[in-house]
Amino acid sequence: MDTFKRLEAFFMPHKRYFMYSAVCLLIVTMITVAYPIVLQYTIDHIILAERYDATISVALIFMGLMIVKGIFTYFQQYLGDLFGITAVYDLRNALYKKLQYLPFSYYDNAKTGDLMSRLTADVEGFRFFLSFGFSELIRFTLLIVASFSVMFVYSVPLTIVTILALPFLCVAVYRFDKKVHPAFRKIRKSFGQLNTNVQENISGIQTVKSLSREEFQTSKFNSSNGHYKDRYLETANVWSTYFPLMEFIGNLSIVALLSYGGYLVMQGSVQPGELVAFFSLTSYLIWPIMNLGFVINMFSQSKASGERLLEILDDEEKKDEDVFVQPEKLGGSVTFNDVTLTYPGEEKHALQSISFYANKGKVIGLIGATGSGKTSLTQLLTRFYEPTSGEILLDQADIGTYSLSTLRTNVGFVLQETFLFSSTIKTNISYGRPDASMEEVILAAKRAQAHEFIMELPQGYDTMLGERGLGLSGGQKQRIAIARALLLNPSILVLDDATSAVDMQTEHKIQLALKELMNNQTTFIIAHRISSVKHADEILVLENGRIVERGTHFELIQKEGPYKRIYNIQYKDQEAVAKV
């Protein structure tokens, strides 16, 4: 029960629903146990005594019990469901909130499909046990205690004979639990992998079709689906092995009851009605123990689900510790002093001994091959990752003294892989500033050279976008992302290959629009094109996580170094194309 104890903060506040449900269940169970007593009375005191005039009274009593039982069964089930769904409402909200605040590094290895499986299937598995499993455990306990009590009143010797096989049944149930829980843990993990395959395939369907890899993806899914099927069959094998065994042990008790009970009836020690009632009570005794395997099955599934949910809840989120500086607006000066970064779980440095100074309003160009450390450098500005060593200063104060919210509202990012939400264009642009006026949204769109194509859309700024901005070209999505960053008016602006999907003419227009803004902002431009960084106040050329060259465009093309080689390659290609 350790998993449930650790999650009790989500269901204990709603325990009153469970308690009300338990009271209703107690009444339902007592009425259920009363059925055999009514049956015994009918046989021994009405049929055998030939008092048929009392039949109507007994029938009315029996009908009244059924009506009362039906009413309390309704409330018991409704309150049980209310307990479960209210608890997981809080749990699901907590999980989603936790995912928002987990560190950036968490998502380096997390798989979207698996996370979706945890927030849906695993949460639902946990809810089902809260709503139904706990109630069944109480029901079984009450039935066993009540049945034993009535059986001992009828006949102690017959009760002892009936329960002789029960210890063997309990052993079988215990062994079943030991086998079934690991099996369900594997099923949950396999289901998460299956979801991941589906999510990746749907997200990358254009790539799949463009490369004619449909058969490969089908084969990959079949493999995951087959793995999931095999895990389920392992569980089915456990069920198929233990349930017939438990049923056989339970039937031995019934055989012993009928044999010895029949003998006692012939001896006159037990009345026929008592034997019939005993038979019914035995089913109330054996049935709960046999079906305890079903509850254990639910418990094992919910425990496996709870363990997967705790993996998220237990993960350490990014928190502010000792925050001394919390200005509403940063000045924008940036200093790196001998900064080294090594990603968690890796040995190779992503950045090594990086040192530079960027005064407020300066434009810093970052250029280099893929994997040279350009993006890693800018991600340190918002503490997506923490430097392994060295010092980063913003406005001459250590970056660790600023709150995360201060950093992330003052550093605007426009990434190469643009993400847009399934909402209107206006909502996407104003995502960082939902209180922005329409005039401010339009101004940001104009600066990003997006206003013109937006007004050509059927509903303009109220046009609904599909998933991930489906319906717009890559260049259009990038311009909306740029508008979103400009609307924030951040102190530091990071353009991470932000114009890679636009043509040269549009890129030039965007750069002209940004030029006025860059006078008041510190801007980092990550690019592969020389044209994107040639106007920068300083250009840093990175190779293998190190700064190998620095200077202005004019200074760097005078040297025979990496920047000059990149320049020659790009501009010679352009000259060759122009001649053709």
pLDDT digits (tens, 9 = 90+) for 93-152: 888 888 877 777 777 667 776 787 788 878 888 888 888 888 888 888 888 888 888 888
Strands (E), 280-374: 334-341, 351-358, 363-368
Among the listed ranges 120-124, 178-182, 201-205, 526-530, which one has the minimum average pLDDT value? Answer: 201-205
pLDDT at 336 over 90: yes
Provide the edge-to-edge strand list for the sheet that holds 492-496.
411-414, 492-496, 522-527, 363-368, 538-543, 546-551
Task: Please give the average per-residue pLDDT across 456-461, as a whole number.
Answer: 87
- Window from 353-362, 363-372, 413-422 with minimum mean pLDDT: 413-422
3-state helix, strand, coil in the chain (%, to 5): 70, 10, 20
Query: Which of the two residues, 291 and 483, has the higher pLDDT score?
Result: 483
Q: So what's the pLDDT on residue 468?
A: 62
How do beta strands 389-394 and 397-398 pair? antiparallel
Please list, in sequence order, all residues whose beta carbon lies within 8 angstroms of the beta carbon of residue 416, skipping any fewer than 6 positions away: 496, 497, 498, 500
Q: Who contacts 328 (Cβ-Cβ below 8 Å, separation ≥6)?
A: none
pLDDT of residue 573: 53
DSSP for 156-195, please give it: HHHHHHHHTTHHHHHHHHHHHHHHHHHHHHHHHHHHHHHH
State the pLDDT confidence band at 577, using cuts at 50, 70 and 90: very low
507 band by pLDDT with thresholds 50, 70 and 90: low
Task: To the nearest 10°, report the CA torsion of 168, 173, 174, 176.
Answer: 130
What would the pLDDT profile of 509-560 be if each residue is shown by its tens digit?
666 656 655 667 888 998 887 878 888 899 999 998 999 999 999 999 898 8
Structure tokens at 245: 């065994």
Q: How far is C-alpha 126 from the chain's CA centre? A: 13
**Structural domains of the chain in order of their starting residue, each with its CATH number:** 2-313 (1.20.1560.10), 334-579 (3.40.50.300)
Q: Which residues pair with 549 in a beta bridge?
A: 541
Least confident of 271-275, 367-371, 381-385, 439-443: 271-275
Q: Is 523 exposed, middle or buried (0-12, 13-18, 19+ CB in 10 A)?
A: buried
pLDDT of residue 578: 43
Please report the pLDDT score of residue 519 as a whole number: 63
- Residue 92: the pLDDT is 87
**Per residue in 299-314, pLDDT tens?**
777 887 888 888 888 8
Cα separation of 482 and 496, whole Å? 11
Q: Residue 514: how many CA atoms within 13 Å on its side-chain side? A: 33
Q: Coil, strand, or helix at residue 36?
A: helix
Instruction: Place 184 in a pLDDT band, splitting at 50, 70 and 90.
Output: confident
Mean pLDDT of 370-381: 87
Among 124-128, 197-201, 332-336, where is mean pLDDT lowest? 197-201
Q: How does pLDDT run across 35-76, given as a tens digit for each residue? A: 888 888 888 778 777 777 778 888 888 888 889 999 999 999
| pLDDT score recorded for residue 280 | 81
Q: Give strand pairing partners of 366.
A: 526, 540
User: Strands of 397-398's sheet, edge to edge?
Assistant: 351-358, 334-341, 389-394, 397-398
Structure-token pair, residue 271: 């009345």
Of the two residues 89 and 212, the one the predictor is more confident about is 89
Q: Which residues pair with 393 in a beta bridge?
A: 335, 398
pLDDT bracket for residue 439 (50, 70, 90): very high
- What whole-number distance in Å separates Cα of residue 334 and Cα of residue 81? 55
Q: Could you give the CA distance from residue 183 to residue 81 in angstroms, rounded to a whole number? A: 27
The label of the residue with tokens 């993990």 reads: 189
* pLDDT for 482 beyond 60: yes
Instruction: Identify the pLDDT of residue 472.
Output: 80
Three-state SS letters, 535-563: CCCEEEEEECCEEEEEECHHHHHCCCCHH
**What is the token pair recorded at 202?**
């749907």
Q: State whether the Cα torsion 154-156-160-166 is positive or negative.
A: positive
pLDDT band with cut points at 50, 70 and 90 for residue 295? confident
Mean pLDDT across the stretch 15-26?
91
pLDDT of residue 393: 92
Longest dimension (CA), the chain: 120
Residues in the chain, overall count: 580
Q: pLDDT class for 485, splitting at 50, 70, 90?
A: confident
Q: Output phi, psi for 430, to 5 deg.
A: -95, 20
Q: What is the mean pLDDT of the chain?
A: 81
Higher pLDDT, 503 or 52: 52
| pLDDT higher at 511 or 268 | 268
> Do 320 and 293 form a contact (C-beta atoms < 8 A)?
no
How confident is the model over 560-565, as a mean pLDDT?
A: 88
Position 386 scores a pLDDT of: 87
pLDDT-derived band of residue 576, with 50, 70 and 90 as boundaries?
A: very low
Which range in 3-17, 178-192, 263-277 is most confidently predicted, on average pLDDT? 3-17
* Whether pLDDT at 88 is above 50: yes
Q: What is the mean pLDDT of residues 162-176?
A: 78
